Amino acid sequence: MNAVATVSKYSAFHVYAIEAKLEFIRMLRMPMFALPALVFPGMFYLLFGVLMGKGKADVAAYLLATYCIFGVMGPGLFGFGVSVALEKDRGWLKWRRAVPALPGAYFVSKMVMALIFAFIIFIELSLLAAGFGGVDLTLLQWTKLMIVSLLSSLPFCALGLVIGTLVNGQAAPAIVNFIYLPMAFLSGLWLPINLLPKFLGTIAPIWPSYHAAQIALKVIGSDLGTPIWIHIGYLVVFTLAMLWLAVTFWSRMKLK
Amino acid sequence: MCDSKTSITTLARLDNVSKRYGNITALNGLNLSVHAGEILALLGPNGAGKTTSVSLMLNLVEPDSGKVSLFNQDPQELSARQRIGVMLQNAELPETMRVSELIELTQSYYPHPRDLKEIAEMAGIADLLKRPYGKLSGGQQRRVQFAMAICAKVEILFLDEPTVGLDIEAREAMWTSLRKLVAEGCSIVLTTHYLEEAEALAHRVMVIAQGSVIAEGSVESIRSRVALRKIRCISSLDISTIKQWPHIDSVTQDGQYMTIQTMDAESVARRLLNEDAGLKQLEIKRAGLAEAFIELTKEQA
């Protein structure tokens, strides 16, 4: 009836926005994904950071930094690792390739989903820390911790993508857990590095989560003192290496 | 490009295409073209190369040799794929997405999508829009996949076994929608193993066997490629006796009815009437596409 009806809404941005919105909604509705991702970090933090820390604010602050990293790893690893593996096996990727979907929107929507989950987890842990743990940070520290937490989810998105392209959908959850949980422990996310056996402490710098945690700990002045550019450099190189592997495996991937 | 009425417009084409998977030759120098405004049915036994042919035009596999074009473009081009709709054979869609969300997503891929109400009506899913995809029955999921294929006014619709798992009513409804789409000017490429589906819908049929086209033409011309006719009657004659007669292709007994397939229906009928005075309910029919198809693939093997 009017000219507006015939004007196309089509733009790459519109496609990306719809993909990201729907990816977030559908993952939120998946209890197997959303419950552990959103509930476990807060529950563990309350248990180990607040209750077992017996109200010591420095313990609560230390574990806030490391649990933020533990929390944001999950959505990246599972959101890419498990869902790419499943979608490759079940024909969703094949359908996307036949229809005029934008290939980049697939990855960006999952990344945005992981970042939104990371943001929710950060807010949740911060509220618990400030409300029950007596953690008192400046506004600048809260902001820095948020930025570090959000950016830290990206290397794990890339690692998840490598896993998702390599393994099948049935094996993916077990493999992701097998990498996620030991890596969190060995990087000092649950216990400070100096409480780990000496050998494990020495090799901790091989894990990306160690470097993310050290940057987060720097915000509250509890890191081990390595210059920040070493940690950032490691994470950038790690992310690029994972992306390179993912691209290589992606092009060889067989769609079912 | 659809309004040329005098000459045939080719929308998609496979030119002398070969494709091997390891040691298996899926397609062997196959030629295929999709014309504007037609329903083209690809028929053939499992593993004949139907799905591979469609997959080539959909950018899902690349040919080893030969040329694939979609609207004179490479099927990888987004602008070519924005002119097609797709229903794959066994794609599982995300279970926690609602039907309306799956449609919203697919609509976003096209510059000029149809509106939700029209899509829902055409696919008969108006009552399913709020439901999560994973909670639907197989037939309902199939209808949703059809809805996603018709999210825009596309020029070619690729449907790989579209009515598998549908009940008769839903199948008839889909056929009606397909006829309407063709009336709008859409072309449809259909693979099916329901021969009656090809018979009911197709303007043109291609029979594919062992990676090549073994017959091509209208339903009528494929059928006449095989001169078989079916005689049905109630007779007291013995099946094994009739089998000895000349020009008999097969004889089967179904309850009290006997079915004879033959190239020479007239002389067989004459002999039946001569030898069995009690012959009842004599009926002679041209063989359907099913019989023509079995005959054609038998010749090939």
Percent of chain A with pLDDT strictly greater than 90: 86
The helix-helix angle for B116-123 and B168-184 (nearest 10°) equals 130
Q: Does B130 touch chain A (CB under 8 A)?
A: no
Same domain, B263 and B182: no
Name, in order, each residue with C-beta under 8 angstroms of A2's C-beta and a sequence gap of 6 or more: none
Q: Give B9 to chain A, closest Cα distance, Å.
A: 23
Which residue on chain A is closest to B57 by alpha carbon? A98
- Residues of the domain holding B168: 5-223
Answer yes or no: do A100 and B82 touch at CB < 8 A.
yes
Same domain, B129 and B197: yes
Could you tell me the CATH number of the domain that includes residue B271?
Answer: 3.30.70
Q: What are phi and psi of A143, to 5 degrees?
A: -65, -45
Domain end marker among B223, B258, B275: B223
Same domain, B23 and B128: yes
Q: Number of structural domains, chain B?
A: 2
Q: Does B94 touch chain A (CB under 8 A)?
A: yes
Three-class SS state of B215: strand
Q: Residue A128 — left, alpha, or beta (φ > 0 → left; ψ -120 to 50 → alpha)?
A: alpha
- Give, as one character, the DSSP assignment of residue A100: T
pTM: 0.86
Answer yes or no: do A26 and B91 touch at CB < 8 A.
no
Q: Does A19 touch chain B (CB under 8 A)?
A: yes
A240 vs B46 pLDDT, higher one: A240
Please tell me which of the candidates A14, A25, A91 has its beta carbon nearest to residue B91.
A91
Same domain, B95 and B167: yes
Residue numbers in B near A30 (CB within 8 A): 96
Same domain, B199 and B265: no
Q: Does B182 touch chain A (CB under 8 A)?
A: no
Same domain, B255 and B280: yes
Answer yes or no: do A18 and B108 touch at CB < 8 A.
yes
Residue numbers in B near A90 (CB within 8 A): 91-92
Same domain, B234 and B156: no
pLDDT band at A137, cuts 50/70/90? very high
Answer yes or no: do A92 and B97 touch at CB < 8 A.
no
Single out the residue of B95, B301, B78 nearest to residue A86, CA to CA: B95
CA distances to A43, A115, A126, A181 from A46, rounded to whole Å, are 5, 23, 11, 18
**B228-265 confidence digits (pLDDT tens):** 888 999 998 888 889 999 888 889 888 889 999 888 88
**B186-217 confidence digits (pLDDT tens):** 999 999 878 888 889 999 999 888 888 988 99
Select from B54, B71, B74, B108 the residue whose CB has the most chain A CBs within 10 Å, as the one to mutate to test that interface. Answer: B108
Considering only residues 59 to 88 of chain B, which have any Cβ-Cβ distance to chain A shorter than 8 Å? 59-60, 78, 81-82, 85-86, 88
Answer yes or no: do A98 and B109 touch at CB < 8 A.
no
Please tell me which of the candidates B91, B92, B108 has its beta carbon nearest to residue A15.
B108
Report chain B's mean pLDDT, rounded to a whole number. 90
Same domain, B139 and B25: yes
Percent of chain B with pLDDT strictly greater than 90: 61
The pair of three-digit structure tokens given for residue A247, joined into one six-digit string: 């691209």
Same domain, B169 and B195: yes
Could you tell me the CATH number of the domain that includes residue B218?
Answer: 3.40.50.300
The pair of three-digit structure tokens given for residue B36, joined into one six-digit string: 């504007």
What's the pLDDT at B255?
Answer: 87
pLDDT band at A3, cuts 50/70/90? very low
Same domain, B61 and B171: yes
Please tell me which of the candidates A22, A87, A94 has its beta carbon nearest to residue B88.
A94
Please tell me which of the candidates A22, A94, A99 has its beta carbon nearest to residue B81.
A99
Same domain, B237 and B147: no
CB of B208 within 8 A of CB of B44? yes
Same domain, B177 and B291: no
Q: What is the ipTM of this complex?
A: 0.90
What's the pLDDT at B107?
Answer: 97
Domain end marker among B208, B223, B238: B223
Domain end marker among B223, B252, B267: B223
Single out the residue of B63, B71, B79, B68 nearest to residue B10, CA to CA: B71
Q: Give B167 to chain A, closest Cα distance, Å.
A: 24
